[in-house]
């Protein structure tokens, strides 16, 4: 079945209220269509209602576009709300935490009624109960991460029971970073690239960085994993991720509370009009807490760039080809989320540093007894 092309039509309710009727799939095309529509919305508009009644399938790229749209319009003093979603859409919004920032309504009349309130007054977010569904490509929302049966050599802290965060939560300014490499002289398909990338995922990382999926599972939607990330000086940070999405040409995970980043990372492969397959990493991120935000200004952002540059080059080498990494970064929302300062309590770098001596001692003792 061919993908349903995304279209958006604009309805003007009054000088301050506009409805965007979204039809079709929220995918990579949605990003371009929404960008064009966004330029047509008058500055005087205060309320933007998204009509999801005719919306089809939703990909992680579509969700990424939706979140960026929300924060961009909020900077212009505009409120975004939505109506007409299905149970499947509702589950995706919960998983990605969009429902924590964007009010959701069943009917257009309910959304319009809420929009007539004085601008700036709070609107209750959707709090209806969720009934777990099997949504193709998507994980199920969870209350906390749990990992089982990982190697003894792994530092397994800062994960069990931790909630996921993503770019909705966290403290720092919101950034979208893109790292892109075209596989030169390669006829390898995007589907083959993603298959290999998922199967050999940690082998493409810089040395000293490890991922330990629960029960050794493959990176499929619903997989929780422990990360041991290398820091300068031989230290390591133990934190967690949750795989939230996967299809034939992309997959994505979301960070756990206490991770350096409140983010999701998207790995994709695709083709355009030029020869060769493009491999890309998209990170929508903000620093988790004030200390990590400070760290970003002191060099952690450059370390993040090196990490994904190394990864893309390693993928290219696996396919016996080369390429140049193109990098883009844009600040989606420069404002700090001051409520996120409490995340310092969960800071994985601090907790890992305190646990490191005991962890090294245990490993040394085991090596002596074996």
Give me the mean pLDDT over the 106-121 stretch.
76
Instruction: Kindly state the tokens that stand for 253.
Output: 């995970």
Specify the pLDDT at position 231.
78
Give CA–CA dist 62/240, Å, rounded: 24
Q: How far is CA 317 from CA 17, 274, 277, 332, 358, in A?
A: 52, 20, 14, 32, 38
Mean pLDDT of the chain, nearest integer:
91
pLDDT tens string 57-66: 999 999 999 9
> Is pLDDT of 99 > 60?
yes
Average pLDDT (149-174) is 95
Tokens of 305: 């760039």
* Per-residue burial over 187-217, b = 16 or more CB atoms within 10 Å of its CB, e = otherwise: ebebeebbebbeeebeebbeeebbbbbbeee
Give the lowest-confidence range in 113-127, 163-177, 331-345, 349-363.
Answer: 113-127
pLDDT beyond 80 at 127: no
**How does DSSP classify residue 128?**
P
Residue whose entry in the numeric block shows the structure tokens 């040395």:
207
Locate CATH 3.30.530.20 in the chain: 174-369
- pLDDT digits over 225-284, tens only? 999 999 776 678 999 999 999 999 999 999 999 999 999 999 999 999 888 999 999 999
pLDDT of residue 120: 46
Mean pLDDT for the stretch of residues 150-174: 95
- Give the integer Cα–Cα distance in Å for 5 and 57: 10
pLDDT for the residue 185:
75
* Residue 119 or 47, more confident: 47
How confident is the model at residue 2, as a pLDDT?
Answer: 45
Q: Is pLDDT above 90 for 94?
A: yes
pLDDT tens for 321-354 read 988 999 999 999 999 999 999 999 999 999 998 8
Domain 174-369 = CATH 3.40.309.10: no
User: Percentage of the chain with pLDDT > 70?
Assistant: 91
Phi, psi (deg, nearest 5) at residue 119:
-60, 135
CATH topology of domain 7-115: Transcription Regulator spoIIAA (3.30.750)
DSSP-based three-state secondary structure for 42: coil
- Residue range(s) in the chain whose domain bears CATH number 3.30.750.24: 7-115
pLDDT of residue 362: 63
Exposure b/e, 270-280, CB count within 10 A at least 16 = b = eeeeeebbbbb
Per-residue pLDDT at 366 = 56
Work out the average pLDDT over 53-57: 95
What stretches of the chain show up as alpha helix (H) in DSSP? 28-38, 60-75, 87-96, 108-115, 190-199, 290-295, 301-318, 348-369
Strands of 47-58's sheet in order across: 7-14, 17-26, 47-58, 79-83, 104-105
């Amino acid at each position: 079945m061919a993908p349903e092309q995304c279209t958006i039509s604009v309805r003007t309710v009054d000088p301050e209220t506009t409805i965007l009727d979204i039809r079709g799939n929220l995918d990579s095309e949605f990003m371009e269509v929404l960008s064009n529509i966004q330029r047509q919305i008058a500055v005087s508009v205060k309320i933007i209602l998204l009509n999801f009644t005719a919306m089809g399938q939703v990909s992680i790229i579509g969700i990424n576009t939706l979140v960026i749209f929300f924060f961009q319009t909020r900077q212009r003093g505009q409120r975004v709300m939505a109506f007409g979603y299905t149970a499947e859409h509702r589950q995706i919004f919960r998983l990605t935490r969009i429902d924590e920032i964007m009010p959701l309504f069943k009917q257009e009349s309910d959304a319009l009624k809420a929009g007539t309130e004085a601008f700036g007054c709070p609107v209750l977010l959707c709090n209806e109960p969720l009934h777990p569904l099997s949504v193709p490509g998507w994980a199920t929302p969870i209350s906390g991460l749990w990992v089982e049966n990982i190697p003894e050599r792994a530092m397994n802290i800062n994960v069990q029971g931790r909630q996921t965060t993503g770019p909705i939560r966290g403290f720092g300014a919101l950034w979208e970073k893109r790292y892109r490499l075209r596989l030169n002289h390669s006829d390898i398909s995007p589907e083959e690239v993603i298959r290999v990338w998922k199967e050999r995922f940690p082998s493409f990382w810089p040395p000293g960085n490890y991922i330990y999926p629960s029960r050794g599972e493959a990176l499929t939607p619903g997989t929780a994993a422990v990360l041991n990330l290398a820091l300068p000086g031989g230290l390591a940070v133990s934190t967690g991720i949750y795989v939230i999405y996967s299809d034939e040409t992309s997959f994505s995970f979301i960070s756990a509370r206490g991770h350096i980043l409140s983010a999701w990372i998207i790995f994709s492969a695709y083709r355009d009009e030029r020869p060769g397959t493009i491999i890309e990493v998209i990170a929508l991120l903000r620093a988790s807490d004030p200390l990590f935000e400070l760290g970003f200004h002191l060099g952690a952002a450059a370390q993040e760039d090196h990490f994904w540059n190394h990864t893309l080059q390693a993928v290219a080498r696996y396919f016996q080809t080369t390429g140049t990494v193109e990098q883009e970064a844009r600040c989606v929302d420069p404002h700090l989320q001051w409520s996120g300062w409490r995340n310092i309590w969960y800071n994985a770098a601090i907790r890992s540093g305190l646990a490191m001596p005991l962890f090294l001692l245990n490993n040394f003792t085991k090596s002596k007894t074996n």
